[in-house]
Amino acid sequence: MDFNKRYFRSLDWVMILLILCLAVFSFIGISGATPNTNDEWKQLFFYGMGFAVLFGILLFDYNTISNFSYPLYGFGIVLLIGVLFTPAQMGAHSWYSFNGINFQPSELMKLFVIMSVAKYLSDKSERDESIETFKDLMPVLLLIGIPLLLILVQPDLGTAMVFMGIMISMLVVSGLHKRFYVMLGSATVGLFGILTLLYFFANDFFFKIVRRHQWSRIESWWQPETHPDGYHLLQSLTAVGSGKLFGKGIGEGTQARYGWVPVGESDFVFTVIAEELGFIGSSILILIFFFMIYRMVRIAMNAKDMFGMYVVTGVIGMFVFQIFENIGMTIQLMPITGITLPFVSYGGSSLVSNFLIMGMVLNIGMRHKKLTFE
């Protein structure tokens, strides 16, 4: 344990305030979607647990925690393998259940992957080495690719896509040579090209690779008016549009409350907020996320070492992708996936995991490079 009053003074209290503001939006959104279940009060309980975890993480120097990056990564892989043998819930083997409490290991794995990749990249930086060959890049691809594949097997495409956001953000700041972006871009285009050919000329084989329900989400995104599964997206658009400028009022929404929009307390919580608080309220929520990302960028720039910078960068990539995808899918900018809105969607494991991740970010911010001159 390494805590000092000077660290406490350096804590980013603005970030804490922003999280508290998100708690208010979370309460409004969840209560508007599930008025008879008291889920919003359960969410506040999870918020209390999350803050306890956050402040607990602050007591330890993040450099000490970094020494456990690879063991934590291995522990996370074991959890991801083990969850594949649990009973399926909602068609996926993604949760451990303990006396009615569900725990999703992929949420923790996000932090473990960020830490392990940051450890690898920072160690290379300390040795004045850079990623010059594909061999140097391979450890990063493996550290991210292994959990990504295990999550795809569950199957959970939405969460797996988050790891791509993490990888891209961390590689961008690592100073990766342009030829690697060309290689990765070419591989991505080639993969989509092969899938396109399979779809038109080997349809049966295509659906052995891409699950039919996943493809159905793509089709319903393109043409929700005519596709059988486009109903929920149309209802979401109706709810967002009906909120107009100032919204219908807290507790006055109808689309999620009466079941026309699915999982309004979780995946579609932004729909509930937009309907009840309107364009003004939903814009304020987006601004809060914007300022949160801005504060994290500042922390990354002032980090005292490369490990801290890489960790915060990975977290930024993770949150930006989740926020864009979750809000985008409610207004037809993105296909519908099971990605939650950070700190707003209902769920204990995702919320507490986000607090754990934010604890690392604030830990890095407290012990920034200026402290070396104090």
Of 7-11, 168-172, 196-200, the poorest mean pLDDT is in 7-11
Q: What pLDDT, in 10s, does the model give residues 206-264?
A: 777 777 777 777 878 888 888 877 888 888 999 999 989 998 988 888 888 777 888 88
pLDDT of residue 3: 53
Measure the CA–CA gap between 324 and 131, rounded to whole angstroms: 29
Contact 111, 123 (CB under 8 A): no
pLDDT of residue 173: 87
Torsion, CA 21, CA 56, CA 352, CA 322, rounded to 10? 70
pLDDT of residue 342: 94
pTM: 0.90
Q: In the structure, what pLDDT confidence band is assigned to residue 48 with cuts at 50, 70 and 90?
A: very high
Assess whether pLDDT exceeds 90 at residue 130. no
Assess whether pLDDT exceeds 70 at residue 327. yes
Percent of residues, the chain, with pLDDT higher than 70: 96
Assess whether pLDDT exceeds 70 at residue 4. no
- Residue 301 burial (C-beta neighbours within 10 Å; 0-12, 13-18, 19+): exposed
Torsion, CA 326, CA 330, CA 336, CA 341, rounded to 10? 20
For 102, list phi and psi in degrees, rounded to 5. -95, 140
pLDDT of residue 2: 53
Q: What pLDDT, in 10s, does the model give residues 92-110?
A: 788 788 776 778 899 999 9
Assess whether pLDDT exceeds 50 at residue 74. yes
Q: DSSP letters of 231-294?
A: HHHHHHHHHHHHTTTT-S-TT---TTTTTSSTTTTTTTHHHHHHHHHHHHHHHHHHHHHHHHHH
Quick one: average pLDDT of 124-152?
A: 86
pLDDT of residue 124: 87
pLDDT of residue 374: 43
Q: Which two tokens stand for residue 225?
A: 């008016």
pLDDT of residue 53: 94
Assess whether pLDDT exceeds 50 at residue 356. yes
Assess whether pLDDT exceeds 50 at residue 371. no
Quick one: average pLDDT of 313-341?
A: 92
Strand partners of residue 92: 89
Of 146-155, 276-285, 349-358, the poorest mean pLDDT is in 146-155
Measure the CA–CA gap between 354 and 362, rounded to whole angstroms: 12
pLDDT of residue 267: 86
pLDDT of residue 373: 41
Phi/psi-derived region of residue 247, left when phi > 0, alpha when psi is between -120 and 50, beta in every other case: left
Give the containing element (helix H, strand E) for 102: strand 101-103
Of 7-16, 20-29, 301-310, 353-362, the poorest mean pLDDT is in 7-16
What long-range pairs does 78-83 form, CB within 8 A, spacing at least 24? Answer: 79/105, 79/108, 79/109, 80/105, 80/106, 80/109, 80/147, 80/150, 80/151, 81/150, 83/154
Average pLDDT, the chain: 87
Q: Which of 277, 245, 263, 258 is nearest to 330 (CA)?
A: 263
